[in-house]
A and B are shown apart, each in its own frame.
Chain A
Amino acid sequence: MVGTPVLFIAIPLLAAFLIPLIGMVWKESVRIIPGLVLAYLLVLAINLLSYVTVNGPIVEVIAGWAPPIGINLVFNAFSGFLVTIMVFMGLLVWLYSYRFKSNVEYEAARKYFLLLMMLITGSVGIVLTGDIFNMFVFIEITSISGYALTAFYTGRDSAEASFKYLMMGSIASVMLLLAIMIIYSQLGTLNMADVASKMHLMDPKLKAVSFILFVIALGIEAEVFPLNGWAPDAYAEAPGPVGAAFSGIVVKAGVYALIRYTYTIFDLSGAFNLLIIIGLITLVVAEVAAIRQEKLKRMLAYSSIGQMGLVLVSFGIGTKEGVFAALFIMLNHAIIKPLLFFSGSYLVYHSKKKMISDVDGIGKLAPLTSILFTLGAFAIVGLPPFAGFWSKLSFLMAAADSNMLLVIGLILSVSVVELVYYMRVVNRIFFFKRTTSLLTRRPTFNAYVVMIILGLMILVIGFYPDSVSMYLHNAANSLFDKSQYIHSVLTATIQ
């Protein structure tokens, strides 16, 4: 082992505090330090992931108090997989926004990168922690940096979007605290593994109530309908890379938390059905709303929400294949959606209102960006031979194995809707006459690198899906092995 899971939280948090201090001495450092930190974390995540594949989960005990009393971090195939995705996305977001728009100035850059580091710390913390209250803290860290990043442009609209996010986030916090209180009052412990092993002792009525409260609270973070009202506004008003970070990092953490509660901590039989129902509603409403959007980023935001709905449905199937498919969709979404946000925000760069109609005929002026956007659009609607196809196929296979014909039918019909709105944009990009006099902006070198990396990943996974399937299988197995999770946490010793 080259490091321990605690570094994923300690290093970015430390970096976030040091950025303004070192920035006083050397201004460029506010840009460079986050990159170095994230690159190191990515190496660490990959190393640890291959370590846990062989040696089983790492449970790290913090501050010398063994579980269930102290806080512990769990790095297993499932959480490690998500952490790797998140850190990787963080690195790409950093690279992309190295000199993005208002970042050019020192003041703005300092705030931006500080907040970004906090956002990543919080999200990674949510995934790694093995303690319910600790998770609450990380959710707060994530949300607060999220509010600030949403309002980064300091305009009226951004402030409004940020305020809505703040309002919903506060409701989430209240619900979360209530749920935690119920659990603590019943079981007297907040360690996830401990709670999970004692869950059968809890009064079924209170169990259901606390689970519902968790669903509401985490549903707000995971953008579940009807709790996702804040999301389209936040995505649309935040800077492009922040939108990518939300869809690639923050939402993943929210979904992770929801899944951890459903699969490991609670043992409610109806929970899976609930996941399917809210997932389906989220998917349908989001895709249907996306087709009627006039702004590009809002459309992408709704599409992102829809994908998360699909992930929830896939988790709700409750079989190993279902979890595999859900993780695959999450991985693809983490690759494709940032590509769409990155390229999309350059396509409407100079447009004031960021309307979809502003991309008319831009294919000729910005060919590479347009082709990358198209690649992303093709991939996310699941056209072969791109990445999205394999996740869709594995989802449908899992659903068919569980005999959910109606679910399959509904999701495929919604996919048609999804196809329509993406193709409409692609048509506009390549086959319309340019009507506006807006100039296009050449993406920065960094942005090109990021977008091309993402595009290549789409192609690699599309042509050779086995390149990731092993990690997905391990992660799915590890989520299913509830007893091993409990055992490995409760027997962890102080190192």
Chain B
Amino acid sequence: MLTLILLLFLGGAIVTWLGNKLSPVVGDLLFLATIIIPAGMFFTGVTVGEVTHLHALGLTLTWGLTPLSYLFSMIVVGLGILLAIYAVPFMKGKQKTGAFYFNFTLSVMSMLGILVSKDWVSFFIFWEIMTWSSYLMVVLNGKDVQRVGIKYFVFSAIGAYAMLMAMVIMNSQLGSFLLADTFNNFQHLTTGNQILIPILLLVAFGVKSAMMPLHVWAPDAYSNAPMAYTGLFSGALSKMGIYGMVLVMVTMINQLPEGTLIRDIIAWIGGFTAAAATLWAITQDDGKKLLAWSSVGQMGYIIVGVAIGTPLAMLAAMFLVVVHAMFKGSLFMVVGAIEKQTGTTNFTEINGLIRKMPWTFISALISVIALAGIPPLAGFVSKWMLYEALIQNNNYILVILLFFASTAGFLYCYKFLHGYFLGQEEPEWAHVKEAPVAMVIPMVLLALGNFVLGTFPQLIFKPIDAAMQFAGYDATGGRLWGESVLFTEWGDVVTLQPILYAVLAVFVFFALFLWFKGTKGTRYVSTKDISTSGELPKEWENLTFKVNFMQPFERAIEPFLKRQIDKYYTAFGNGMEALFEFTRRIHTGNGQTYAIYAILFLALLLLFRVNLFG
């Protein structure tokens, strides 16, 4: 069944691509069928524990679903379906639709493949398919491909090769590529390898989950990919790094005497990622970039949770994994819709879309509240659990760091919401209409999901609990949420209910207020509709207040922002290229030099004859 599903994705990708050459409509239909049919089969036909074997080159590839991968595959498949529906109107009239559909399907397939892989070889195969299909998405729009695309691919390749190295070492030492074998027999490795392998694997997974200092590809890659894909990219694809990290943390690091130290280091890196990425997000003027940095930051929270690794921290991380996929998926869809309708995503150009794109606004509003971690939405639940876990674990300084990140996060959340939807209405955007229904429905659904999970988090506690028991947290007896003061015995948020109703009441009251007030002759003004000291603004002047929106703040954090690691990587890359250029000059193009090389080589070998051959 698993094999069939993956084959359907693969075949569907190719058929869609060919079908799109025939006619765009055929391509659209095939694309939807390709995503939805195997996804439906996955929901109905696959059971946890089912195992398939394949043979290649004397190796056995084992595929099967575990509770942990089931949790992640729900994200992949769910987000995949919604984004596929969204993508069809999004890609309408754009170029390279066929390539988009092809890579989209392959990405979904490869992520599912990673999750069902029970051995490192198939894990790596799917990992690389995921890398190159997402790479082709990043460069799809042809903008800045040599810099952004190559940066993404180089970092991915470093990660992938680190994994490759780790897996061949494990195979040669332990004689098996099976994940379970390598985890269970981890103690049989030499001490050096016991340190080396987790580090290699953490590098591999750290790259995909955009952990600092391996994150530099992420902001550019997220914002460069088509928005209909970025939801999947940030929501599901980067979670594959988290999935791997959970595996490594729980199984390998726990067996190491130095485990606590590594855990602390990773947790601090995660905390730092969260804080720094948040600051970067605040300074962005482009919604895509803002969300991209915000994604990096959110991954930082998740990494902290995974690294701390107490049951509650893990629960918080897993919860945030699910929730982040929902609100970030929705937000990227919002940006995509705005891009589709207005042609730009820059805050300083767009104003006051609230009346033109109300549904987009509502999903943005709900998702942003979830992103900021304000009760009663799902983001709050996960962050609360994370803080609680950290305090229980006596990581007070880390809590302060995360709290700072979270609070600073309000700034960009506000900027995002205000930037697109509020403010004066410009005549320039008078023609803008709400996005097509097929784009609105997925994003509203995802946004509502945040609401549902914020109120009834117990809905996903069961799968998370099963996943964590599988991963080795069976001591909690299936009641993980009991660790937190937030929940009752049944995983209900009874403690939250008063807050929830209070907040709802405020909202309802505010809405009523606006509605009454709005009906009484509100005059909508544009930014040019002013006169200061009798001075009329010029046509070209950009008076939207989002120009230099947070200047004082930016000035305050400027010394920090100057220290970009990206610069050092670029310098390193340039240095290497210079070195390569120098090496290239060895081949002078002069035949006489080549002859001398041959003679010198002969002399050299004769000279070291004794060392070589004894």
Contact of B168 among A167, A408, A417, A424 (CB under 8 A): A408
What string of 1s and 0s marks CB contacts (under 8 Å) between A264-284 and chain B? 000011110110000000000
* Contact A419 B157, beta carbon cutoff 8 Å: yes
Given contacts A204-B613, A292-B577, contact A415 B161 (CB under 8 A): yes
Query: Among A15-23, A134-142, A393-401, which stretch is in contact with chain B?
Result: A393-401
Residues 212-239 (chain A) with a chain B CB within 8 angstroms: 212-213, 215-216, 219-220, 226-227, 229-230, 232-233
CB A150 to nearest CB in B, in angstroms, measures 13
A412 touches B606 (CB 8 A): no
Whether A465 lies near B56 (C-beta < 8 A) is yes
Q: Please, how many residues of chain A have a CB less than 8 angstroms from a CB on the other chain?
A: 72
Cβ B165 vs Cβ A227 within 8 A: no
- B473 to chain A minimum Cβ distance, whole angstroms, is 32
CB <8 Å contact, B157 and A427: no
Chain A residue contacts of B612, Cβ below 8 A: 208, 270, 273-274
Tell me, rounded to whole Å, the shortest Cβ–Cβ distance linking A236 to chain B. 11
Q: Is A448 an interface residue (CB 8 A)?
A: no
A452 within 8 A of B: no
Check A445 for interface membership: any CB of B closer than 8 A.
no
| Cα(A41)–Cα(B586), bound, Å | 41
Does A403 lie within 8 Å of B606, measured CB to CB? no
Contact digits for A463-477, partner B, Cβ 8 Å, 1 yes 0 no: 011100100000000
**A365 at interface, CB cutoff 8 A:** no
User: Is the Cβ of B595 less than 8 Å from the Cβ of A168?
Assistant: yes
Check if B125 sits within 8 Å of A431, measured CB to CB: no
* B168 and A397 form a contact (CB under 8 A): yes
Closest beta carbon of chain B to A70's beta carbon, Å: 31
Given contacts A415-B157, A423-B149, contact A396 B598 (CB under 8 A): no
Counting CB contacts under 8 A, is A163 at the interface?
A: yes
Task: Give the interface centre of A399, A420, A431, A432 by most chain B CB atoms within 10 Å.
Answer: A431
Find out whether the CB atom of B172 lies under 8 angstroms from the CB atom of A397. yes
B601 engages A409 (CB within 8 Å): no
Which of B141, B153, B589, B591 meets A420, CB within 8 Å?
A: B153
Are B150 and A397 neighbours in the complex by a CB distance under 8 Å? Answer: no
Task: Check A416 against B595 for contact (C-beta < 8 Å).
Answer: no
Number of B residues with CB within 8 Å of any CB on chain A: 58
- Separation of A249 and B155 alpha carbons in the complex (Å): 35
Whether A416 touches B154, Cβ cut-off 8 Å, given contacts A164-B594, A216-B598, A229-B594, is yes
**A285 in contact with B591 (CB, 8 Å):** no
Interface presence of A209 (CB below 8 A): yes
Residues of chain A within 8 A (CB-CB) of B132 are: 378, 383
Asked if A385 lies at the interface with its beta carbon under 8 angstroms from chain B, I say: yes
A285–B586 touching, CB < 8 Å:
yes
Q: Is A94 an interface residue (CB 8 A)?
A: no
A259: interface (CB < 8 Å): no
Set B58, B165, B606: member contacting A209, Cβ < 8 A: B606
B584 touches A289 (CB 8 A): yes
User: Smallest distance from the beta carbon of A44 to chain B beta carbons, Å?
Assistant: 28
A288: interface (CB < 8 Å): yes
Tell me whether A212 and B587 are in contact (CB under 8 A).
no
| Option from A399, A405, A432 in Cβ contact (under 8 Å) with B145 | A432
Given contacts A209-B606, A288-B583, A400-B171, contact A393 B595 (CB under 8 A): no
The answer to whether A466 touches B55 (Cβ under 8 A) is yes
Beta-carbon contact of B58 and A212 below 8 Å: no
B536 proximal to A (CB < 8 A): no
Q: 8 Å CB contacts to B: which residues of A147-165? A: 160, 163-164
Question: A350: CB under 8 A from chain B?
Answer: no
Chain A: CB-nearest residue to B57: A465
Cβ of B602 and Cβ of A212 under 8 Å apart?
A: yes
Q: Which residues of A contact B589 (CB under 8 A)?
A: 233
* Distance of A285 Cα from B585 Cα, bound (Å): 10
* Nearest-CB residue, chain A, relative to B138: A431
Determine the chain B residues whose CB is within 8 A of the CB of A430 once the complex forms.
Answer: 139
Given A383-B132, A384-B125, A397-B168: A168 and B598 interface contact (C-beta under 8 Å): yes
CB-CB < 8 A to B583: which residues of A?
A: 285, 288-289
Across-interface contacts of B586 in A (CB, < 8 A) = 226, 285, 289
Q: Is A171 a contact partner of B154 (Cβ separation < 8 A)?
A: no
**Interchain CB contact (< 8 A) of A431 among B124, B140, B600:** B140
List residues 166-220 of chain B with CB under 8 A from any CB of chain A.
168-169, 171-172
Are A412 and B57 closer than 8 Å at their CB atoms? no
Inter-chain contact A469/B146, CB cutoff 8 Å: no
Q: How far apart are the CA atoms of A389 and B594 in the complex, in Å?
A: 34
Which of chain B's residues 101-159 have a Cβ closer than 8 Å to chain A? 121, 124-125, 128-129, 131-132, 135, 139-142, 145-146, 149-150, 153-154, 157-158
Chain A residues within an 8 Å CB radius of B247: none
Report the minimal beta-carbon distance from A177 to chain B, rounded to whole angstroms: 14
Q: How far is the CA of A293 from the CA of B141 in the complex (A)?
A: 26
Which among A167, A213, A215, A232 is the interface contact of B595 at CB below 8 angstroms?
A167
Q: Mark A76-95, 1 if CB is under 8 A from B, else 0.
A: 00000000000000000000
Most A CB within 10 A of own CB, among B141, B606, B612: B612
Contact check, A220 vs B57: say whether CB atoms are below 8 A apart: no
Asked if A396 contacts B168 (CB within 8 A), the reply is yes
| Interchain CB contact under 8 A, B158 and A416 | yes
Given A167-B591, A209-B609, A384 and B140 contact (CB-CB distance below 8 Å): no
Query: 1/0 per position for B81-103, CB-CB distance to A under 8 A?
Result: 00000000000000000000000
A75 close to B (CB within 8 Å)? no
- Closest residue of chain B to A464 (Cβ to Cβ) is B56
Docked-complex contact A427 and B605, CB < 8 angstroms: no
What are the residues of chain A within 8 A of B613 when measuring CB–CB?
A: 204, 207-208, 211, 268-271
| Contact, CB under 8 Å: B614 / A289 | no
Residues of chain B lying within 8 A (CB to CB) of residue A417: 580
Q: Report whether A216 and B605 are in contact in the complex, using a CB–CB cutoff of 8 Å.
A: yes
Contact B594 A167 (CB under 8 A): yes
Cα A216 to Cα B600 in complex, Å, equals 11
A289 touches B171 (CB 8 A): no
Say yes or no for A433: interface residue by CB 8 A criterion: yes
Nearest-neighbor residue (CB-CB) of A287 within chain B: B580
A38 at the interface (CB under 8 A from B): no
Q: Is B593 an interface residue (CB 8 A)?
A: yes
CB distance from A423 to the nearest CB of B (A): 6
- The yes or no answer to A120 lying at the interface (CB within 8 A) is no
A212 to B58, CA, bound (A): 37
Residue-wise interface mask of A (409-443) relative to B, using a CB-CB cutoff of 8 A (1 in contact, 0 not): 10011011101100110010011110000000000
Q: Which single residue of chain B is at the shortest CB-CB distance from A167? A: B591
In the bound complex, what is the Cα–Cα distance between A419 and B156 (angstroms)? 11
Residues of A within 8 A of B149 (CB): 423, 427, 431
Question: Which residues of A have CB within 8 Å of B510?
Answer: none
Q: Which of B55, B128, B142, B597 contacts A227 (CB 8 A)?
A: B597
Check if B496 is an interface residue, CB within 8 A of chain A.
no
Q: State whether the Cβ of A58 lies closer than 8 Å to any Cβ in chain B.
A: no
Contact status A208-B142, CB under 8 Å: no
Nearest chain B CB to A274's CB is how many angstroms away?
Answer: 6
Contact of B581 with A by CB under 8 A: yes
A389-B128, A415-B157, A423-B153 known; A229+B591 contact, CB < 8 A: yes
Task: List the 6 closest pairs (A to B, CB-CB), nearest first.
Answer: A229-B594, A400-B168, A400-B172, A412-B161, A384-B125, A164-B591
- 24 A-B residue pairs with Cβ-Cβ distance under 8 Å, sorted by A, are A160-B591, A164-B594, A168-B595, A171-B598, A204-B614, A208-B612, A211-B613, A216-B605, A226-B601, A270-B612, A291-B580, A292-B580, A378-B132, A383-B128, A383-B131, A384-B124, A393-B57, A420-B154, A423-B153, A431-B141, A431-B142, A432-B142, A433-B142, A469-B58
A residues near B, CB below 8 A? 160, 163-164, 167-168, 171, 175, 204-205, 207-209, 211-213, 215-216, 219-220, 226-227, 229-230, 232-233, 268-271, 273-274, 285, 288-289, 291-293, 378, 383-385, 389-390, 393-394, 396-397, 399-401, 403, 405, 408-409, 412-413, 415-417, 419-420, 423-424, 427, 430-433, 464-466, 469
Q: A160-B591, A417-B580 are in contact. List 12 more A-B contacts (CB 8 A).
A: A208-B612, A220-B598, A226-B600, A229-B597, A270-B611, A274-B605, A288-B583, A292-B577, A384-B128, A400-B168, A427-B139, A430-B139
